[in-house]
Amino acid sequence: MPGRDLFDQAQEFAAELTAVLQASFRDAPPAIAEVAGDRVVVRPDGPVPLFAGGERRATLEVRLRCELDSRGAWLAVESSSITLTATVDRTPVFRFEYLRKPSTVPSAHLQLHAHRGALSQLLAHAEHPKAHDMSALHIPLGGSRFRPCLEDVVQFLAEELRVDVLPTWRAAVEAGRRSWREKQVQATVRDWQGVAAETLRELGFTVEPPPAGIPPVPPRAVADW
C-alpha cells in the first residue's frame, strides 16, 4: 500500500511493539513513535522492567529508528537495538543491534558485555585496540534478512534467562515471529528470484520468468553479513 501516511505506519510499528511486550511482560509500557520530518523513533514509552522470581532484576530497551525509503512510500528500519540492562549496575548485559548501512561491522550483530580472559589474550596477541573489552566485538547474526527478531529475544529471555513472563507471551511471540518471517521471506525472494523459482519448480509449481528475465542477485544480498 505505497503512499500510506507516515503517521499511520509509525502507529503500526508502535502497535506491533506494544503487542508483543505487553503480552509478555507485566508493567511493560505502550510504545511511542516520535516523528521529526521523515524520520521516526519507535520505543516503549519508558523502561520495560523485567522480574525474576518476582523481583526486579533487569530492564529491556527496544528502539527502532526508521526513515521513509527513497520513494517516500515505506518506513524502513535504519537501525534497531534490543538491550538487556542489569538492575545491579544499570549497565547492558547484551545488545542485539542492526544497522541498515553499516560501515565495517556486520549489519546485524550481538555485543556482549562480559569478560573472558582467554578471549582478551587472543585479542591482545592480535593487537586488537580493545583487547579487554568483549563488547567491542560485533558477533554476526545473519545479516539483514536472517537476523533474529524481537520475538526471538523475548523467547530467549523467557526460556533461557527465565525471567517472569505473562501467560500470553508465547502466542504473541509466535504471531509476531510469523509476521516478521513473512516479510523477511518476501524480501529474500525479491533478492534471490532464480533460487526461489527453482525451489518452487522442485515442489511442483509451474513458474515462468517475467519477460525481462530473472534479475541477478544484488551484490548487497551476498555482501551483507
Partner 1 sequence: MGPTRVRELSPAELEARRGEILRRLGVTLDELTRRAESSSLVGDEWEAWEELEDIAFLLGDHAA
> Binding residues for partner 1, per CB under 8 A?
7, 10-11, 14-15, 18, 22, 29-37, 39, 41, 43, 45, 47, 61, 63, 65, 78-79, 81, 83, 85, 89-92, 130, 133, 135-136
Q: Is the CB of 31 or the CB of 154 nearer to partner 1?
A: 31
Pick 4 or 162: Cβ nearer partner 1: 4
Task: Give the shortest CB-78-to-partner 1 separation in angstroms.
Answer: 7
Q: List residues bridging with 86 in a β-sheet.
A: 58, 91
Task: Output 39 or 57, the one with its CB closest to partner 1.
Answer: 39
**Minimum distance of partner 1 from residue 18's CB (angstroms):** 5
CB of residue 85 to partner 1, shortest distance in Å: 7
The CB-of-164 to partner 1 minimum distance in angstroms stands at 17
Contacts of 148 (CB under 8 A, 6+ apart): 96, 108, 141, 142
Nearer to partner 1 by Cβ, of 35 and 196: the residue is 35
Residue 134 buriedness (CB in 10 A; 0-12 / 13-18 / 19+): middle
C-alpha cell at 154: 523475548
Q: Quick one: 48 or 193, whose CB is closer to partner 1? A: 48
Minimum Å distance from CB 89 to partner 1?
7
d(CA 15, CA 82): 17
Is the Cβ of residue 35 or residue 189 nearer to partner 1 in the bound state?
35
Least Å from the CB of residue 221 to partner 1: 26
State the minimum distance, in angstroms, from the CB of residue 186 to partner 1.
25
DSSP state, residue 206? -
- Looking at the Cβ atoms of 88 and 223, the one nearer to partner 1 is 88
Measured between alpha carbons, how far is 16 from 24 in angstroms, rounded to an integer?
A: 13
